[in-house]
Structure 1
Amino acid sequence: MTRDERRRFVPLAIRAALASVAVAAFLLALKAIAAWQTGSIAMLGSVADTGLDLLASVVTLYGVRLAATPADQDHRFGHGKAEALAALFQVALITASAGAIAWRAIAALGRDQATANADFGIGVSVVAILATLALLRYQRSVIRQTGSVAIMADNIHYQSDVLLNASVIVALVLDRFFGWHSADPILGIAIALWLAWGAFQASSNAIDQLMDKEWPDAQRAAFLDVAARQPGLKGIHDFRTRRSGSHDFAQFHMEVSPTLTVANAHDIVESVERNLRTAFPKVEVLIHLDPEGHVDTDNPLVEADVTPHWFGKRL
């Protein structure tokens, strides 16, 4: 990816992070008033979660901005993994929030006390759902364009917020209109379990990036299909991929005829790079040139030929 292309993608992630901070700050103030007015455990849990949302969104904003920092002498591959670290910080906050809500809900199970001003709490929760749905829609648009793992983790977190706010409404409705006062703490426990599950899901993408997990098979196959469509190319092996923030990296060994001149072989490499840059503008590619038949190592994983199955037939 060129510097201009990166600049085009990065501001989207930063704007999404700023939107997340603004929504979290607004909802925190609104829910704090509702929790004070109603005394609802579910609403109090929602306040705690939104407070952590705000902190997590600030960390996400910092992570996205740091990930957008250009490569330097100490970080030649850029700072993309800052997004994964920010995502893991969010996971820790989500887990802490789930534990606190569950503890408070369990403590309130034995009480049989009606919730005050339930109608006000229901109205606040409806507003919170509408605001969160608008944020989720915007975040998903940004994720489709940038692939930001930090925004993805934030999006998963706010998906749980929709369910959390809906659960608060259910608890208050059951309390207000049906006299079922235990609904509030029971749904509080359900919210905590849902948050814990969301934390587990959000951690997987971040850990995969930090561990340099390979691309999915379909993405690898699509990349190789473009790379192999080049006259003069004899094979591809040692194909490695990874992801860092919103940037993808791919490298492979490309085989050409040993009778070619250095200049002609270099032209083939540049042609492959152009084709890949056109089809995959967000991928940084590194190609090592080998003469056909050359063996680099006895490691079968490295030497495995990954050229598409139709390649030999086409030649």
Structure 2
Amino acid sequence: MARVTDPAAAHRLNRIAGVAAIATAIVLICIKGWAWFATGSLSVAASVVDSALDLLTSAANLAAILYAARPPDAEHRFGHDAIEDVAALGQALIVAGSALAIGWNGAQRLIEPVPLAAEGAGIVVMLVSLALTAALVLFQRHVARRTGSRVVAADALHYLSDALPAGAAIAALGASAWFGVLWLDPVLSMLAAAVLLHGAWSIAAGAFAGLLDRELEPEQIDRIARIARETEGLQGFHDLKTRRSGSRVYIQIHVEIDGSRTLSEAHAVGATLRHHLLREFPRAEVIVHKDPV
């Protein structure tokens, strides 16, 4: 699927995804909250807490998306895209905190089991919540592929992880209703907490990489080098530097051109390389420095 190259169009898609996430979180909190009070299930409670955190983080993410859409100014000459990494890091911390709380409560419930109620109604509610979550995640992933937004991608991962507590709640309610098994509810809630912690680590790692100006992935650097080697008029290149900030990629490269060529000819060679790089990395910031051989 083609990446959106127009910044305004990309930010518009990101805003739509942010609003959709907030609306979905509100609906999920309402229906899961009813199921929690009706059933008394800790797994359902874990899913409610996760949806409440979804609402908070989605609201923060939307604020970050709106801030990142602001054009460069005198104090932020490279734009405001880095706020996406800050928001993603904050989201990872919230996910980790909620996972630890869910796991702790699950351990307590495992020691002191509590009977559940209205399991059938709870299962229906959790199935509806799974359908809503799946629809939102598919849309968010579509937007993330089109725009390259880290915030939208992180939010999609967060909502995908929300499906795991919901699935665990369905299994726990079914075990209680049909077999009278109470220990499955806390055990599954602790497993869901472990999955949430893994997702939080993945989000934090990507955010740290952006905030610390880490190089792009090796395969992406290899693609840049291949494009440079295949550009006609270049006799070599050196000092290739890359980094990512939010959804934008920054590329700096020194190219070696025959020193006997005119300035216009050398500029044309550099412009050709820049065009090829932008075709491969839409919305990238490319700086080409020309060195005479």
Q: Same fold (TM over 0.5)?
A: yes
Alpha-carbon deviation of 1:72? 1.0
User: 1:247 offset after TM fit, Å?
Assistant: 1.1
Partner of 1:81: 82
- Contact 2:239–2:254 under 8 Å retained in 1: yes
Structure 1 position 145 matched with structure 2 position 149 = no
Q: CA offsets per residue over residues 77-116 of structure 1, 9 Å max, x none?
A: 1111111111111111111111221222222223343201
Offset from partner CA, 1:29-55 (integer Å, 9 cap, x none): 111111111111111111111100100
Shift of 1:4: 7.5
1:22 Cα deviation after fit = 0.8
Task: Answer with 39-48 or 106-115: which moved more.
Answer: 106-115
1:10 and 1:113 map into 2 onto residues whose CA distance is 47
Matched residue, 1:27:
28
For 1:170-249, what aligned pairs fall within 5 Å after superposition? 170-249=171-250
Query: Partner residue of 1:130?
Result: 131
Bigger mean CA deviation after superposition, 257-266 or 33-42:
257-266
Alignment correspondent of 1:118: 119
Q: CA–CA distance in 1 between the matches of 2:280 and 2:106?
A: 52
Match of 1:14 in 2: 15
Corresponding residue for residue 45 of structure 1: 46
Residue 59 (structure 2) aligns with: 58
Distance 1:257 1:215 in 2: 29
TM-score normalised over the length of structure 2: 0.94
- Residues 149-176 of structure 1 show CA distances to partners (whole Å, capped at 9, x for unaligned) of 1111111111111111000000111111
AA at the equivalent of 2:201: F
Distance 1:225 1:8 in 2: 30
Instruction: Give the counterpart letter for 2:54 in structure 1.
Output: D
CA–CA separation in structure 1 for the residues paired with 2:21 and 2:32: 16
Displacement of 1:7 after TM fit?
Answer: 1.0
User: What one-letter code is carried by the residue in structure 2 that aligns with 1:241?
Assistant: T
| Counterpart code for 1:35 | W
Aligned to 1:271: 272
CA positional deviation for 1:59: 0.8
2:59 partner amino acid: V
CA deviation profile, 1:192-233 (whole Å, cap 9, x unmatched): 111111111111111111111211222222223333333321
Q: Which amino acid aligns with 2:48?
A: V
Runs of 4+ with >4 A deviation: none
1:127 positional shift = 0.5
- How far apart in 2 are the matches of 1:132 and 1:267? 49
Identity of aligned residues (%): 36
The number of residues matched between the two structures is 290
Q: Give the Cα separation in 2 of the matches to 1:199 and 1:278.
A: 32
Q: Distance in 2 between matches of 1:218 and 1:55?
A: 35
Other-structure match for 1:96: 97
- 1:286 is aligned with what amino acid? I
1:302 aligned partner: none
In structure 2, C-alpha distance between the alignment counterparts of 1:178 and 1:274, rounded to whole Å: 64
Question: How high is the TM-score relative to the length of structure 1?
Answer: 0.88
CA positional deviation for 1:241 = 0.9
Task: Find the counterpart in structure 2 of residue 299 from structure 1.
Answer: none
Change (3 A) 1:119 1:275: same
Q: CA deviation at 1:261?
A: 2.6
Distance 1:263 1:185 in 2: 70
Separation (CA, whole Å) in 1 of partners of 2:274 and 2:122:
58
The letter for the 2-side match of 1:154 is: D
Equivalent in the alignment of 1:158:
159
Does the 8 Å contact 2:228/2:234 carry over to 1? no
User: Are the equivalent residues in 1 in contact too, given 2:240–2:252 (CA < 8 A)?
Assistant: yes
Cα distance in 2 between the residues matched to 1:89 and 1:268? 43
Rg (Cα) greater in structure? 1
Post-superposition offset of 1:63? 1.2
Structure 1: gaps of 5 or more residues: 293-315
In angstroms, what is the RMSD of aligned CA positions? 1.6
Query: What is the letter of the counterpart of residue 267 of structure 1?
Result: A
1:241-260 CA distance string (max 9 Å, x none):
11111111101101111222
Amino acid at match of 2:259: P
Structure 2 CA distance for aligned equivalents of residues 153 and 94 of structure 1: 11
How far apart in 2 are the matches of 1:226 and 1:8? Answer: 27
Task: Report the 3-state secondary structure (helix = DSSP H, G, I; strand = E; otherwise coil) of the residue aligned with 1:109.
Answer: helix
* Inter-partner Cα distance in structure 2 for 1:253 and 1:192: 48
Q: Which runs of 5+ in 2 are unaligned?
A: none
